[in-house]
Each structure stands twice: as structure tokens, then as C-alpha cells.
Amino acid sequence: MNPGNSGGALVNKAGELVGINTAIISTTGSYTGYSFAVPSNIVSKIVSDLIDFGSVKRARLGVTMSPVTDKIAKDMKLPSLDGVYVNDVTQGSAADQAGIKKEDVIIKVDSTLIKSPSDLQVVVNKFHPGDKAMVTILRDGKQRQVEVQFQGTSEITGTVGADGSVSFYGARIGMGDKGVTILSAGNGKLAQAGGEDGFVIQFVNDQRVNKPQDVIEIAKKARRSIVIEGVTATGRQGYFAFGKDE
């Protein structure tokens, strides 16, 4: 991929659009290496969203997940390593409301088989907030189906959990030993922007925060973007930012 190629068309031998060129990783400094492109089906959804809504609408399931390992398969007596292991479920999320639980294994969304976390991410990205899907899970050696109604990644819900934490862009934030802390980053917009478990939030858009509700209120008043500054779990100063969907 050469300079100027990013944003251009990636076509197959038949001249059909299959993606939009995005980036390259090169170990030599030249324009050879691993190139990346956004698949055309995702581009199509993004373009449609921009035309219809003026912004991209992303669905969120609300689980933290990992691949099914040999140990997990053995302990749960699974027939294969296919599927996605649910490490945790965000309280109040679409998954939580549908009855998906920690340690479930997601194997199918509607008719699409799920073999890895990336498979699940691709499938969920095809939906809009409010869309419904039948999710097949494995629990206690049996298959179950639950109906999920997806939420949006941009929701600033502020829903308060039993532990006093609040929901914020797919994450749970609450009071930790050192202040307002990301207790669970989840897999929503905050996590995608670089938010990690254990990050201590000190400032939001240059305003000092002392409690979780401060974060919610400042974010609600933000016009276009949200900039979060603080200290990482390893003790380093850090920051991350993301655009605010209207």
C-alpha cells in the first residue's frame, strides 16, 4: 500500500469492490508488508447509517469474551473449540437483559455460526441498536436460545448497579481506592477508544471529577468529543478520547 492508497478501493480480479484500503504495517519502512482494509459490507452499513442518521449506529451486546481454550473445552465438556467464552456480562446490557450469564459459550447468532471472538464482533457490527437476534449458547452441557435486543455503544445511561457503579459507554465506572475508576471496560465505545480496567479517571474534558456521576454529567454536556485523562492501572499518566454520537 503506497501513500494515497488509504481511502481508495480494494477490488478483486473481477473489478468488484471488496474493501476500502486503510493502513499498512511495514517492518522495513518501505511500502511492503501487511495491508489492511475495511470490508465492503461494513463500509456499506457505515454509508447507509451516515445517510439515514447522520452518524454511525453500532450495536452492543455487553459481554467481555475470550476464545474457547483447551482447558475451557475440557472443563465444560465441549465438543470443540468453536464459540466464544463469556468472561463477564455488563450489568444492564443487552446480554444481561436477555439472560446470558458469565461462563456461557456463545455458538450462534441467528443462523451464523460463531467460532471466535472476531466472528462475534463482525456479526454484532451488522446490527443497529434496537435490532433483535436469536443467540444460541451452551450452558451446563445444553444448548439454549435467548432473544437479544441490542443496545447502542454510545449510550450514556448512568444506570446504577448494586455495587454503586454506573454504566458509561459500555463500561462500568465506580469508586476505587484512588478515585473514580473503570471497574470493567467492557467492549463498547470507551474500551474501543483505549479505556482499560483499573484506569483512574481524574479529568473529563479538562474538568476534575470526584465521583462517577461527575463523569456522566460532564459527558452529557459535551458537544462533540469526550477526552478522559487520568492514571493507568500501572501508575502512568494516560488519556484517551472518542467522539460523542448525537
Indicate which CATH number applies to the domain containing 193: 2.30.42.10
Q: Is residue 157 part of a domain?
A: no
Residues 195, 121, single domain; the answer is no
Nearest to 72 by CA among 61, 55, 87: 87
β-pairing, 59-60 vs 84-89, is unpaired
Q: How far apart are CA 123 and CA 116, in angstroms?
A: 11
Q: Is residue 158 part of a domain?
A: no
- Structural domains counted in the chain: 3
pLDDT for residue 246: 43
Averaged pLDDT for residues 197-208: 95
pLDDT, tens digit (0-9, with 9 covering 90-100), for 170-191? 788 999 999 999 998 876 778 8
What percent of the residues of the chain are helix, what percent strand, and what percent coil, each to the nearest 5? 20, 40, 45
Q: Is residue 220 part of a domain?
A: yes
Chain-wide mean pLDDT for the chain? 87
pLDDT for residue 161: 65
Residues 132, 101, single domain; the answer is yes
The most confident of 141-155, 182-196, 218-232, by mean pLDDT: 218-232
Is residue 245 over pLDDT 70? no
Predicted confidence band of residue 162 (pLDDT cuts 50, 70, 90): low
Averaged pLDDT for residues 57-80: 89
What does DSSP assign to residue 100? -
Averaged pLDDT for residues 205-224: 90
Averaged pLDDT for residues 195-220: 93
Higher pLDDT: 158 or 22? It is 22
Averaged pLDDT for residues 131-141: 95
Is residue 54 over pLDDT 80? no
Instruction: Give the range of the structural domain holding residue 94, as residue numbers without chain letter.
Output: 59-152
Please tell me the least confidently modeled range out of 40-54, 107-121, 135-149, 151-165: 151-165
* Domain finish residue from 152, 176, 201: 152
